[in-house]
Amino acid sequence: MSQTNLSEQELIRREKLVKLQEAGVNPYPAPLYPVSHFSTDIKEGYTEETKEQFTAVCVAGRIMSINDKGKVFFIKIQDSKGIIQLYVKRDDLCTGEDKSFWDIVIKHGLDLGDIIGATGYAFITKTGETSIHTQTLTLLTKSLKPLPVIKRDEEGNVFDAVTDPEFRYRQRYVDLIINPDVKNTFVKRTQLINTIREFLNAKGALEVDTPVLQTIPGGAAARPFSTHHNALDVPFYLRIANELYLKRLIVGGFDWVYEFSRNFRNEGMDRTHNPEFTVLEWYTAYKDYFWMMETTEQLFEKIAWALQGTTDVPLGDKMISFKAPFKRISIHDAIRENTGIDVSDMDEAGLREVCKKLQIEVPGNIGKGKLIDELFSATSELTFIQPTFVIDYPVEMSPLTKKHRSKAGLVERFELIINGKEIANAYTELNDPIDQRERFEEQAKLMERGDVEAMFIDHDFLRALEYGMPPTSGIGIGIDRLCMLMTNQASIQDVLFFPQMRPEKLD
């Protein structure tokens, strides 16, 4: 960025930088700094009884406020855990007649956003605030851009935050600095993932990795991103799902495998969709979708307890109960309850008439399965606020699912719907290679009709099934949407560090 495009504040900060350097102060010293305590360690641990433990502390953090009292400065710094106040007295930092450090660094060199380190001892000020009586202060990083203006109360809590999503998502690094609750959301996201790992590992599951670049985008009905591999001179796709690779591992002899998969789908973006997203998938041999429902209930209960300390989780103006068991209803019954129409025996023409009657616009190139999916999405999905297993889907909707053991034309599948959105999708897996080939061929016909989300035929996966895959149940859980639920966020962008956005136009 040229000097002509800098704001007045940015120019002033650069002038300060030059003056510091001319005075022999390195504004970007070597990174080793012996931090001994975090802000919360001191503020929560310091008492009259424990003060001997805090006679020598070393802290570091970003300057969030400066209160100039002449020969004394009160500086509040923010570290990774919170905010603490430094009591900085000129006569403690400067000995004799030489006050140059005070004048150059403290008085005229520091700005909000600078990162400093301090040593000293903890004490409580006359106003009752636990602080650090500073004995040495070191400039660790000079900030050249001013932070957005926010308002805090006397304890440092933000009560007037920056809310512009364009700014917050594009400059997440600043968002994390000035909006403390944002950092808490991402801490809980990691806690959520760790809780899932602990749950699965305790049950004997094995975490694995599968390819992100795939020659065939399989395992889901979705539009892929495509690329080209120069060395092999072949097209590749970013994975839309890892399902078919995990099933190959079940064929290979593993009983329970799982993966946190970064998936990519070249589709729309809204408050619950991002083109790059995280899904947990696991596959377990010798289990079915009834077992999977029970296990999913156990997992979601555990997550709620770990993150919220209760199975009742607030979401906007609602309270979501993750107490098992969850409601179960077939997709046909769900549509019938909400429309009064029984679609269970209808063909494609009949379904199109129903869509027309209900004023649901549908493409002309989709088949029976997608039509039922459109009907469910338009009439029923949003009605399920509390966790609900929608079960027993038509075979046309589920190319990778085993046919229902007692209901003709259906498959053993469920979707877990919470707050009107799909959070998980699970099957009793199809392990009949002949049936699977026929399903893939039906998908190929849909692709010929122009359905860009229809599945490719994966001949290697069919070959794997021909070696024999044991009876298996599998599930995919949308981690981003689950995190939204568990942290009370209304937009998927608020649980992604760096959501996709149009490129920024910079001067």
pLDDT digit string, tens, across residues 303-340: 999 999 999 999 999 999 999 999 999 999 999 999 99
Q: What is the pLDDT of residue 156?
A: 57
Q: Cβ distance 283 to 503 under 8 Å?
A: no
Q: How would you write 254-271 as a 3-class SS string? A: CCEEEEEEEEECCCCCEC
Find the angle CA(212)-CA(213)-CA(218) to the nearest 5 degrees. 80
What 3-state class would DSSP assign to 305?
A: helix
Q: For the domain made up of 8-147, give the CATH fold.
A: OB fold (Dihydrolipoamide Acetyltransferase, E2P) (2.40.50)
- What average pLDDT does the segment 383-407 reach? 92
For 123-156, letters b (16+ CB in 10 Å) and e give: eeeeeebbbbbbeebbbbbbbbeebbeeebeeeb
Segments of 34-89 assigned E as strands? 57-68, 72-78, 83-89
**Which one-letter DSSP state was computed for residue 224?**
P
Lowest average pLDDT, out of 3-12, 180-189, 283-292, 427-436, goes to: 3-12
- What average pLDDT does the segment 18-38 reach? 95
CA end-to-end span of the chain, whole Å?
7
Q: Which two tokens stand for residue 33?
A: 């700094």
On the question of a common fold for 8-147 and 182-326+386-495, the answer reads: no
Q: Give the pairing of strands 256-264 and 206-207.
A: parallel
Residue 459 clears pLDDT 60, i.e. is over it: yes
Percent of the residues in the chain that have a pLDDT greater than 90, as a whole number: 81
Report domain extents, the chain. 8-147, 182-326+386-495
Give the separation between CA 283 and CA 249, rounded to whole angstroms: 9
The strand pairing partners of 270, in sequence order, are 273
**Which one-letter DSSP state was computed for residue 38?**
-
Write the pLDDT tens digit of every residue in 117-133.
999 999 999 999 999 99
- Closest residue by Cα to residue 366 from 2, 53, 377: 377
Q: How would you write 77-122 as a 3-class SS string? A: EECCCCEEEEEEEHHHHCCCCCCHHHHHHHHCCCCCCCEEEEEEEE
pLDDT band at 366 (very low <50, low <70, confident <90, very high): confident
- What average pLDDT does the segment 139-156 reach? 82
pLDDT band at 160 (very low <50, low <70, confident <90, very high): low
Q: Cβ distance 492 to 480 under 8 Å?
A: yes
pLDDT band at 413 (very low <50, low <70, confident <90, very high): very high
Residue 152 clears pLDDT 80, i.e. is over it: no
Write the pLDDT tens digit of every residue in 232-288.
999 999 999 999 999 999 999 999 999 999 999 999 899 999 999 999 999 999 999
Sign (positive or negative) of CA dihedral 460, 466, 468, 474: positive
Q: What is the pTM of this model?
A: 0.90
Residue 27 clears pLDDT 70, i.e. is over it: yes
CATH of domain 182-326+386-495: 3.30.930.10
- Closest residue by Cα to residue 363 from 454, 291, 280, 281: 454
Peptide bond into 325 cis (omega under 30): yes
Find the angle CA(252)-CA(254)-CA(258) to the nearest 5 degrees. 115
Q: Give the type of residue at 8.
A: E
**What would you measure as the largest C-alpha separation in the chain, in angstroms?**
95
Q: What is the chain's mean pLDDT, rounded? A: 93
Q: Which residues 6+ apart lie within 8 Å of 273 measured at CB?
A: 267, 492
Give the separation between CA 497 and CA 88, rounded to whole angstroms: 35
Give the separation between CA 15 and CA 4, rounded to whole angstroms: 14
Q: Which residues 6+ apart lie within 8 Å of 322 measured at CB?
A: 300, 301, 303, 304, 311, 312, 313, 387
Q: What is the pLDDT of residue 154?
A: 63
- Closest residue by Cα to residue 404 from 308, 332, 505: 332
